[in-house]
Amino acid sequence: MNLDLPLILTLAVLITGVIWLLDILVLARPRSLKVAAVEQQFQAIEVADEHRKAVYEAARATAAQEPLLVEYAKSFFPVLFIVFFLRSFLVEPFQIPSGSMIPTLKVGDFILVNKFAYGIRVPVLNKTFIPVGKPQRGDVMVFFPPHQPKTYFIKRVIGLPGDKIRYTNNQLYLNDVEIKQEFVKKDFPEWGSFCMNYRLQMSIVNENLNGVVHKMQKCDQPSQLSVDGTWVVPAGHYFMMGDNRDNSADSRAWGFVSEDAIVGKAFAVWMHWEELLSIPSFNNVGVVK
């Protein structure tokens, strides 16, 4: 089961905020009257009388005591609100769960996602209310795919609205123009991948998406998704692909990504921590390209 974290965080902020506001408007007044009554009762207190002073302080503290729910709400609301604001409108951290973006991003990479690069969005509803920019070809983007609308995915933007995409034998064609690939090196495939299962070699290349150069990897024999396919991107949608072309379930399998499903643009790796018992690494910290 996938938890709807934006909804949970929004509800937590609203509930704690409403409780705090209710205390200010309604609940605080009776406490103030009780405190005033205690102060009137002890107004002739002698400072030197330590016993009466202790009784007065205890009585005043009892009169001013906030309900436990109010106390918790006041403690948690500022923290929750700061997290809510940062996560909803500025930057959100994510961890890479799969190898679909290798070699750009590896399993266990912790990344930062710019939440305003493509517009300021209403939390939970994910509707843009302040336009800022649009996804560009080559961006690494976090989004909700159409087949799993509550699960975060991360892929590269390959096709913009109106683009014609053709992918044949691991060669990309954009609007009938072949996208150049420059060979970098051969490498061993990752465990459990298509290449590994079929004992194939893997090539890492630099792919030039109209000026945006990034690394991608492909098997020497294309997988089923990489053999042949043609798509035309509809208005308000984007065509997404993983950089690990033969081991990525992406728009070739489940279609286009709507503008309403965009979460943000990945821009940096700040840590790598693959397993709980492993040692965190900062060797690959840097900008996502």
The pLDDT-based confidence of 52 (bands split at 50, 70, 90) is confident
Per mean pLDDT, which range of 43-52, 59-68, 237-246 is the poorest?
Answer: 43-52
- What is the average per-residue pLDDT within 147-152? 90
Percent of the chain predicted with pLDDT > 70: 97
Enumerate domains of the chain plus CATH numbers.
Answer: 5-89 (no CATH), 96-287 (2.10.109.10)
Residue 49 has pLDDT above 80, yes or no: no
Say yes or no to pLDDT of 260 above 90.
yes
For the residues 73-98, what does the mean pLDDT come to? 95
pLDDT at 47: 53
* Cβ-count burial 197-223 (b if 16+ within 10 Å, e if not): eeebebbbbebebeeeebebbbbeebb
Determine the Cα–Cα distance for residues 281 and 271; give it in Å rounded to an integer. 6
Query: Rounded to an integer, what distance in angstroms lies between the CA atom of residue 245 and that of residue 251?
Result: 11
pLDDT digits (tens, 9 = 90+) for 176-190: 999 999 999 999 888
The whole-number pLDDT of residue 264 equals 96
Catalytic residue among 32, 53, 150, 155: 155
User: Of the candidates 6, 2, 154, which has an alpha carbon nearest to the alpha carbon of residue 87?
Assistant: 6
3-state secondary structure the chain: CCCCHHHHHHHHHHHHHHHHHHHHHHHHHHHHHHHHHHHHHCCCCCCCCHHHHHHHHHHHHHHHCCCHHHHHHHHHHHHHHHHHHHHHHHEEEEECCCCCCCCCCCCCEEEEEECCCCCEECCCCCCEEECCCCCCCCCEEEECCCCCCCCCEEEEEEECCCCEEEEECCEEEECCEECCEEEEEEECCCCCCHHHHCCCCEEEEEEEECCEEEEEEEECCCCHHHHEEEEECCCCEEEEECCEHHHCCCHHHHCCEEHHHEEEEEEEEEEECCCCCCCCECCCCEECC
Kindly state the tokens that stand for 105: 């991003």
Catalytic one among 88, 100, 226, 248?
Answer: 100
The whole-number pLDDT of residue 39 equals: 85
Average pLDDT, the chain: 92
**Pairing mode of beta strands 262-272, 286-287:** antiparallel
Give the integer Cα–Cα distance in Å for 104 and 248.
13
First to last CA, the chain: 32
CB 265 within 8 A of CB 139: yes
Q: Is residue 59 predicted with pLDDT exceeding 90? A: no
pLDDT of 98 > 60? The answer is yes
Calpha distance 23→7 (Å, rounded): 24
Task: Give me the pLDDT at residue 44, please.
Answer: 64
pLDDT at 118 over 90: yes
> What length does the chain have?
289
Give the per-residue pLDDT at 124. 85
258 an active-site residue?
no
Look at residue 286 in the predicted model and tell me its pLDDT.
94
Residue 4 burial (CB count, 10 A)? 12
* Tens-digit pLDDT profile for residues 195-208: 888 888 899 999 99
- Report whether pLDDT(1) > 60: no
pLDDT, mean of residues 12-28: 96
220-240 mean pLDDT: 96
Active-site residue, 186 included: no
Question: Is pLDDT of 100 > 50?
Answer: yes
CB neighbours of 29 closer than 8 A, spacing ≥ 6? none
Nearest to 2 by CA among 152, 127, 132: 152
Residue 111 φ/ψ, nearest 5 degrees: -120, 160
**Lowest mean pLDDT, pick from 44-48, 156-160, 242-246:** 44-48
CB atoms within 10 A of CB 276: 5
